[in-house]
Amino acid sequence: MLPAARRFHYSNLGFGLLGEVVAAARGRDWADVARDEVLLPLGMTRTTTRPSGRAAQGYAVHPWADVVQPEPEHDAVSMAAAGQLWATLADLGRLGAFLLGDTGGVLSPDTVEEMTVPAGVDSSQPAWMAYGLGVQVHRPPDAPAGTVLVGHGGSMPGFLAGLWVDRAEAAGALVLANTTSGLDGGLPAALLADLRAAEPNVVDAWAPSPSPVPVALLGPWFWGPTPYVLRAVPGGLLHLSGLGRPGRASRFRPRPDGTWVGLDGYWAGETLRLDPVALNLATFVFTRIPYDPAAPVPGGVAENGWT
């Protein structure tokens, strides 16, 4: 057992237990709930807990010889919720479209956005791998700055799968293999990199949108002598990051009371309060000029100022 909210460890047993929790809460099998509330609304009619119609034979490849052994198809019973779903390429593609925002009414786009926020990492770093809510979130080490992939890998005896999407590029890649081991886990990311290089994403034409705060509050701010910049970004969010240098960064979503809450990065979960003289952020005070004597700088400002 691991301490609550201290460490993350992927657990097949945990997903098996989750299936039992869903069954107990809904009074019917988890598979029926998944079918009626997720799969069918998304049009994933060929995704089932047992093979239906034509299905590839799964194989185990011997590690020291070019020979194979069939993997028997079976029902994992209480552990089936950990990954026992048979699907077609088209159905998995529909799941990729779901992760890209075409939710089909199953979840709100805001909830999917929340699912993709990584937990337990500083997402401003060059490369990392983490989990959101039910999905893996990954910044590949060689990808362009800001690239974040969302998806998941999967395995059952005789089969491997990988589905990853780049939400900013509105693109996804998936791979399937009827082998127990040996599939390159980095292949979907490599396919997306090839797509990015060969077919750059054509973005929508720029159009003005209202700033969620008065524009006078945007632009340079200083934490002590260190420059930062506050920007309005798509989705009615604010983004605070280092100005002209790498460093701490976060996006912020508005709250009903007029404050803002950090969504990711260094200030995830922290409260931002806006004021024309100072930005107050989790004991950090940002001022319009370095060490502004008119702002509530912790510890005060030297009377003689800059000399």
Average pLDDT, the chain: 91
* pLDDT of the residue at 126: 76
Instruction: Report the helix count and the strand count for the chain, using DSSP H and E.
Output: 5, 15
Could you give the number of structural domains in the chain?
2
Instruction: Tell me the pTM.
Output: 0.76
Stretch 86-110: mean pLDDT: 95
Domain containing residue 129: CATH number: 3.40.710.10
pLDDT band at 1 (very low <50, low <70, confident <90, very high): low
Q: Among 257, 278, 277, 260, which residue's Cα sits nearest to residue 269?
A: 260
**Structural domain contains residue 102:** yes
Residue at 71 is within a domain: no
Residue 176 lies in a domain: yes
Looking at the structure, do residues 126 and 155 belong to the same domain, yes or no?
yes
Answer yes or no: do 166 and 237 share one domain.
Answer: no
Residue 94 shares a structural domain with residue 190: yes
Burial label, 62 (beta-carbon count in 10 A; 0-12, 13-18, 19+):
exposed
- Asked whether residue 123 falls in the same domain as residue 181, the answer is yes
Percentage of the chain beyond pLDDT 90 is 68
Of the chain, the end-to-end C-alpha distance in Å amounts to: 58
The verdict on 103 and 180 lying in the same domain is yes
d(CA 188, CA 210): 37
268 shares a domain with 231: yes
Which residues span the domain enclosing 119?
Answer: 89-199
- The answer to the question of residue 103 being in a domain is yes
Say if residue 184 is in the same domain as residue 224. Answer: no
Mean pLDDT, range 46-63, rounded to an integer:
94
Please indicate, yes or no, whether residues 117 and 163 belong to a single structural domain of this protein.
Answer: yes
182 and 122, same domain (yes or no) = yes
Same domain for 116 and 183? yes
> Is residue 99 within 8 Å of residue 172, measured between CB atoms?
yes
Residue 264 lies in a domain: yes
The verdict on residue 21 lying in a domain is no
Of 144, 174, 199, which residue constitutes the final position of a domain? 199
How far, CA to CA in Å, does 85 sit from each of 44, 91, 239?
Answer: 11, 11, 39
